[in-house]
Amino acid sequence: MGEIRRLLSTITNDPQDLSGIVLQAYDLKKSYSVLDFENIHPAKLSIGRNIGQAVHCLGRLHVAFLTLIRAARRVSGFENLHIGWAELPSLAKTKTRPRRNSAIPPWTVAQTFKSLGLEYTDEQARRLMCPEEDTVHQSFTRMELVNRFNKLKPASNQVHAEIQLVLDLARRRIRFSTPFSYIGCSKLSCLLCTEFIALVGPFSTRGCHGKVYYLWTIPEQKELEQASVESICSAVKKLEIHLKGILLESRNPKPRGKESTVGGSSVATAIPLTNNPYVSNLIVNRLQNERQHAMSAAARQRPSSLEDNDTIDEESDSTAPIEAGEARAGYKSRRDYHRSLGIPYNGPTDPPTCPFDEFWRAYDTFNLPAIFDKFGRGDEIDREWPHLRTFLSCPQQERPLVWRLCHYLALGDVNAAASLPAVEAAAEAFGIGPHLNTRDRLQLYEFYGELWGAADPPTPPGSLGNGRVQNRVRWRKVTEALHQAPLPAAEAKKQKLEEGKELEEEEETAKGEKKEVEGKKDEDKVGVEDKKEGKAGNLSMLEVARSLVRAPWSLLRSLTGSSRG
């Protein structure tokens, strides 16, 4: 492997180039797993495996650097984050020291069995260490257990990261009840770390993978506060009691894979894969059958109901939840599952997708509805948005003003048009212009909102821009005046004069509209009879009422006419 030679050359010739060394190790970490390094020395795989672990450890430094960069971009207030090192005294032996007896000598296997309340026999050793279905190690004896136990004594202690953090807090004289609510690492915590952290303080962790490591330990510490020492000792005693319960209750735990690189795992870490095609095919079929059974367990069930069959909700006959989710996701999870098994995928194909270049060209040339039809989305879009096809097919300069008016109404603010020139021009074309006072503008704005709220706006006629719909505004002013308190004589006289002028204008407008609707003779006759039978004092009010009735109908009738650009 040429990359490893270059890394070794950099370490040997330029050991000060720490950044270059870490980057080269990171590239190797991305390209090769630890098992790939075993090819370095096929005769002794442990040599290559150790090199791979060292390279991966160096590469993790750059991973941490990239994580900090990503956090700086995403986490607000990252500049206020304080990063400190958890200083753990070196546990490596610098020189050979005379061996001394420990204050608390380690337990023997016999003492361990006695503490658990178990008989120290070969049968009990087999029952504790070997699963019942294991027929290979049925001859397991106490001596084999003692030999294994003696091999577990490490030359140097190996401390898990979570324990280092807790001890660092204790050395800094920070109480466990006050500091931080979370202690975590890049991987899930082991069983002993999780239980110890839960007992020593109110911390939460990322999670627990439930495994035990033989060499898990808490190193000797000096210069700790008495409260911290008592808290740690109490947690260790409670942890021993808890482990006794686990050992006695769970004699045959299911196998788990190793996750930590520190200390020996309580379970096998390398599970050999079979090279027998027949056995491999059996495994694949078994996995497929289990998956199919899991999916059928969530199959649809028709609800029990006293109603007739034709009134039961149709959704009860829909696809099962798992299958529906896969369909919405394009069956990608099932395709990935088949790929993981190394078998071809024969399920439904992905629906056709439109390339972005084709989509953009269609949008730029106002042919996007044709793309919807081409890829089978036209009917669905027409049902959800009936006018979207017309909108996307119309060039911007040819769009009718009523669309701009609807845009204006959707803003929900009568003064919002001032910042949008195109919308402001449409509002003025429909009579909502600066020549109106605020009251009239609000009333006209509300009127258009009510008008377009009842029906979709078609193409507007030219007459809407001439201000004739302001009749509605004036009529509102007249009707509101009837319910107001009586004004003083002078103001009342002045207001009557103004209203008289407005009514005269309405009469002239009504006469002009009468000529436009000559085809409706019956309506004209009714109007003539009303004029003859009505009193003189009510004549003007009736004309205004008639113009009010005619105005909305004339608007709605004229909206179906020809378009105005």
HEC string for 227-283: HHHHHHHHHHHHHHHHHHHHHHHCCCCCCCCCCCCCCCECCCCCCCCCCCHHHHHHH
Chosen domain end from 26, 48, 77:
77
Residue 333 included in any domain: no
Residue 107 included in any domain: no
Q: Which is more confidently placed, 428 or 328? A: 428
Residue 347 included in any domain: no
- What mean pLDDT comes out for the span 82-99? 59
The answer to whether the beta carbons of residues 441 and 414 sit under 8 Å apart is yes
Q: pLDDT digit string (tens) for 356-412?
A: 888 888 888 888 888 888 888 888 888 888 878 888 888 877 777 787 888 888 777
Chosen domain end from 249, 268, 300:
249
Chosen domain end from 22, 44, 77:
77
Residue 82 included in any domain: no
Q: What is the pTM of this model?
A: 0.40
Show the domain range for 389: 356-393
Res. 544 pLDDT band, cuts 50 70 90:
very low
* Res 20: pLDDT: 87
Residue 372 included in any domain: yes
What's the distance, CA 443 to chain centroid? 44
Rounded Cα–Cα distance for residues 270 and 435 (Å) = 85
pLDDT over threshold 70, residue 490 = no
Rounded Cα–Cα distance for residues 413 and 407 (Å) = 11
Number of folded domains that form the chain: 3
Residue 258 included in any domain: no
Residue 158 included in any domain: yes
Which region among 153-167, 439-453, 516-530 has the lowest average model confidence (pLDDT)?
516-530
Rounded Cα–Cα distance for residues 439 and 476 (Å) = 11
Rounded Cα–Cα distance for residues 248 and 118 (Å) = 9
**230, β-bridge pairs:** none
- CA 90, 91, 97, 102 torsion-angle sign: positive
Residue 509 included in any domain: no
Phi-psi region of 223 (alpha: psi -120 to 50; beta: other; left: phi over 0): left
- What mean pLDDT comes out for the span 424-442? 82
